[in-house]
Amino acid sequence: MNAVDMKSGEVAKCPGCEPVWEAMTHSDASTACAVLKEAQRRWAAKPLSERLRVLRAARHTLAERAGELADAISPQLARNRTDTLLAEVLPLLEACKFLEREAPKVLKTRRLGLRGRPLWLRGVWAEAHREPLGHVLVIAPANFPLLLAGAQTLQALAAGNSVTWKPGNGGGKAAELMAAILLEAGLPWGLLRVTGESVEAGMGAVRDGADKVVFTGSPAGGRAVLRELAETQTPAVMELSGTDAVVVLPSADMQRVAKAVAFGLRLNGSAVCMAPRRVFANAATMTALRPILQAELAKIPPVALNENVARQLSALLDEAKGAGAEVLGQFEPARQSPLMVEHADGSMEITRTDMFAPILALIQTPSMMHVPELLAESPFGLSASIFGNEGEARAMAASLKAGSVLINDVIVPTVDPRVAFGGRGASGFGVTRGPEGLLEMTALKMVLVRRGASTRYLDPTSDEDATLFQEAIIAMHGRTWRERAARTVSLLKAARKI
């Protein structure tokens, strides 16, 4: 089959694939959308088992070409090849395997039984069906270009949708490789489109139209996308950034805390939306933690900050120092080592601003009872970590406003494919991954069936019926069982006279 690469406009070959579209130019968006729509219709008509067979075949090939996938990811990211295999490729494969195993149960039609059905709806049977949305636009970030968008794309495809994948900066090569592997595994030609990496390509894909947009990126980028989507009332999932907190209880293992915080700041050169940015502890705990934390942070290799981040960080540090904070470490954006901001508080912008830089604000609390209130001073609510006795940590977790709360760990447990991920407040809305993320890729359709020959419920009512129905309401919802029983007897007697 002849088709045109959506980035270059060059004719590409897909041996053995059924033709779905004619050659087109990159600017021919209407034709591209028509192709995706037709491909999606055919794909959705296939049994789920057939769709999952394609994903299973792709997973095996992805595993065989894991090294190639790792090499396709931008070398500009501050990580080694092993980090990429562990942080992106392996979790992506697990996400695919999760779909193969769990999608039939998650997407299965749910039939509501008799339990809970109101008595007056006798004869009505209800079913909850999950259907594909149609076309899903996945807008990916630059920091984890394969795992996040790859898992979202697999979920959308498993649910029966077509997908446009807009890669982040440096993510195009990995996206194109995964798309090629899916084609090789049997994904119908025309079902998955990969755009260019630019912001213009992303906004163009938004304007081309989609039935849902899954966006991962900065709050500013999310707002720009939402403004466009508001015109067409297109639903979206927004997975945005955070200023994630680490709460250290007096019962915590300080060495574990320091090692976990250092891991979070080191991972991907601190370009992680869930990286720890704020540490909360009382005075005694902070005193015990500080030297251990400093020793662990000193082991982290420096990273180069881009010009925009360096300018932003410099201004935030100046503002914090002017408000009474003390900065431990040197501001050297060409080779930036971790910085700790002592005597920080929630009024300082450095504790309220998301950024990809190895910066950590230490916030001393009057008591641990104040922690939920202090955490809420930041508008973000992506995740939080609590270190200490599990019972105490669980009690505190219940009062924190965050999409995820981790106890005695940071970041790593969230890559479990069974776990949905999303934020609150300025960190976005909706979820990806897990059963809930798969359901985000579907539309709910309720099917209600009336059985039985009676049509009496369709007859008009009169004022004379009001007394009877008032009795029925008390019989069903009266305050005491005696009251309900008495009204039920009255109703039965009245029914015999009708």
| Residue 490 and residue 471 in contact, taking contact as beta carbons nearer than 8 Å | yes
Q: State the pLDDT at residue 32.
A: 67
Answer yes or no: is pLDDT of 189 > 60.
Answer: yes
For the chain, give the percent of residues with pLDDT over 70.
93
| Residue 412 and residue 443 in contact, taking contact as beta carbons nearer than 8 Å | no
Answer yes or no: is pLDDT of 22 > 70.
Answer: no
Burial of 50 (0-12, 13-18, 19+ CB in 10 A): exposed
Q: State the pLDDT at residue 29.
A: 59
Contacts of 453 (CB under 8 A, 6+ apart): none
Query: Which 3 state secondary structure label does DSSP give 407?
Result: strand
When computed from its CA atoms, the radius of gyration of the chain, rounded to whole angstroms, is: 28
The letter for the amino acid at 94 is E
Tens of pLDDT, residue by residue over 464-476, are 888 888 989 999 9
Tens of pLDDT, residue by residue over 282-330, are 999 999 999 999 999 999 999 999 999 999 999 999 999 999 999 999 9
| Residue 236 and residue 226 in contact, taking contact as beta carbons nearer than 8 Å | yes
Q: State the pLDDT at residue 20.
A: 31
Answer yes or no: is pLDDT of 339 > 90.
Answer: yes
Tens of pLDDT, residue by residue over 340-355, are 999 999 999 999 999 9
Tens of pLDDT, residue by residue over 109-127, are 999 999 999 988 999 999 9
Element (H, E) at 341: strand 339-342
Average pLDDT (440-450) is 97
- For the chain, give the mean pLDDT: 91
DSSP-derived letter for residue 7 is: T
| Residue 261 and residue 338 in contact, taking contact as beta carbons nearer than 8 Å | no
Whose tokens are 């705990």? That residue is: 285
Q: State the pLDDT at residue 28.
A: 57
Q: State the pLDDT at residue 498.
A: 60
Rounded to whole angstroms, the Cα distance separating 1 from 8 reads: 17
State the pTM of this model.
Answer: 0.89
Tens of pLDDT, residue by residue over 130-159, are 999 999 999 999 999 999 999 999 999 999
Average pLDDT (68-90) is 92
| Residue 26 and residue 6 in contact, taking contact as beta carbons nearer than 8 Å | yes
Rounded to whole angstroms, the Cα distance separating 279 from 261 reads: 9
Phi, psi at 133, each rounded to 5°: -70, -35
Q: State the pLDDT at residue 2.
A: 33
Rounded to whole angstroms, the Cα distance separating 247 from 409 reads: 11
Q: Which of 181, 176, 140 is nearest to 56 (CA)?
A: 181
Q: State the pLDDT at residue 497.
A: 65
Answer yes or no: is pLDDT of 14 > 70.
Answer: no
Q: State the pLDDT at residue 104.
A: 98
Contacts of 125 (CB under 8 A, 6+ apart): 111, 112, 448, 449, 451
Tens of pLDDT, residue by residue over 405-439, are 999 999 999 999 999 999 999 999 999 999 999 99
Average pLDDT (12-36) is 47
Whose tokens are 């979202």? That residue is: 152
Average pLDDT (433-453) is 96
Q: State the pLDDT at residue 467.
A: 86
Q: State the pLDDT at residue 75.
A: 84
Q: Beta strands 424-425 and 380-381: pairing type?
A: antiparallel
Bigger pLDDT: 211 or 3? Answer: 211
Rounded to whole angstroms, the Cα distance separating 52 from 60 reads: 13
Q: State the pLDDT at residue 492.
A: 83
| 115, 118, 212 from 125: Cα distances, Å | 11, 11, 30
Tens of pLDDT, residue by residue over 163-176, are 999 999 999 999 99
Tens of pLDDT, residue by residue over 255-285, are 999 999 999 999 999 999 999 999 999 999 9
324: left (phi over 0), alpha (psi -120 to 50) or beta: left
Q: State the pLDDT at residue 274.
A: 95
Element (H, E) at 424: strand 424-425
User: What residues does 300 pair with on adjacent strands?
Assistant: none
Contacts of 225 (CB under 8 A, 6+ apart): 139, 202, 203, 206, 213, 215, 236, 238
Rounded to whole angstroms, the Cα distance separating 168 from 148 reads: 11
